[in-house]
Amino acid sequence: MERTGRWLLACCLALGAAASGCKTLTSGDLVEPDYASDADTNLKRGDDALASKNFLEAERYFEFVKSKYPFLEAAKEAELRLADTDFDRERYAEARDRYLSFLKLHPTHPKVDYAAFRAALTHYKDIPSDFFLLPPSREKDQVEVRAALAAMNDFIRQYPKSVHLDEAKHIVDDARRRLAEHEMYVAEFYAHRDRWSAVVGRLSRVVKDYPGLGYDEEAYLGLHGAYLKLNDGAHAEETLRTILQKLPGTKAAEKARKLLGAGG
């Protein structure tokens, strides 16, 4: 991701990589492309440049088509390709702006679902990574995870027949899992500091908003323990009965049954 890439670049420079002759190509360093006399050929040359990760050259071809042939269908394709170029460069905020602009300008275009999906995908791609030198992603701010979840849910509602639907659903599942993991982490953080009301709030969110992701047993048992710490026997018992109702046949249900029996 671009943020991690910037961090790695800083480390590289600190280690003296700049002295080895590394150079970043700027738009001014690029020789003007050999533009063709028709829009489609320029699009093709831009696609080839993009596939080869020659991003600046690709951008120039697409900008040329967009400005030179504004009334042709190729110009709309060039707008999408420019968004794709930013996306492939991991410039996700810029790519998102381009995709959303395309949706606004061309709401009936055959590729609106593609633009909408990619706009939503930029949030998912911008989620902090689990790079080994950085804290785990579950410990970080989840703003982009929540944005990805909201955007993908909107996409699924608006484009239920899109070819990108399955991938969108997969991302929704992953985003929900990430958010559940984060809530579990924060609950543990508060538990270590005896902030039991905060623990109840976080674990309640897990069982309410993110059920069925593999955290239910741990979350419900954690709720039971937190209520006991708060001397709230009524809610503690209610939690055990909820476990029996919602998680039959599990180890948590077996434990809940024993605790209820012991409580008489």
Q: What angle do CA 246, 149, 248 make, to 5 degrees?
A: 10
Domain final residue, candidates 148, 175, 202:
175
HEC profile for 130-172? CCCCCCCHHHCCCHHHHHHHHHHHHHHHHCCCCCCHHHHHHHH
Per-residue pLDDT for 109 more than 70? Answer: yes
Residue 211 lies in a domain: yes
pLDDT at 142: 86
Residue 158 lies in a domain: yes
| Confidence band for 31, pLDDT divided at 50, 70 and 90 | confident
Domain final residue, candidates 55, 71, 87:
87
Per-residue pLDDT for 217 more than 50? Answer: yes
- Mean pLDDT is lowest, of 9-23, 142-156, 227-241, for 9-23
pLDDT tens digits, 136-166: 565 567 899 999 999 999 999 999 999 999 9
pLDDT at 261: 86
pLDDT at 32: 84
pLDDT at 233: 96
Residue 189 lies in a domain: no
Mean pLDDT over 229-234 rounds to 97
In terms of residue numbers, what domain contains 252? 194-264
Residue 25 lies in a domain: no
Pair 140, 103 in one domain: yes
Average per-residue pLDDT in the chain?
88
Q: DSSP characters for 219-237?
A: HHHHHHHHHHHTT-HHHHH
pLDDT tens digits, 48-79: 999 999 999 999 999 999 999 999 999 999 99
pLDDT at 133: 44
Pair 164, 206 in one domain: no
Pair 244, 260 in one domain: yes
Q: Is the pTM of this model over 0.85?
A: no
Pair 59, 118 in one domain: no
Query: What CATH number is attached to the domain comprising 155?
Result: 1.25.40.10
- Per DSSP (E only), the strands in the chain are none
Work out how many domains the chain is built from and give that number.
3
pLDDT at 34: 86
Q: Which of the pair, 84 or 25, is modelled with greater confidence?
A: 84
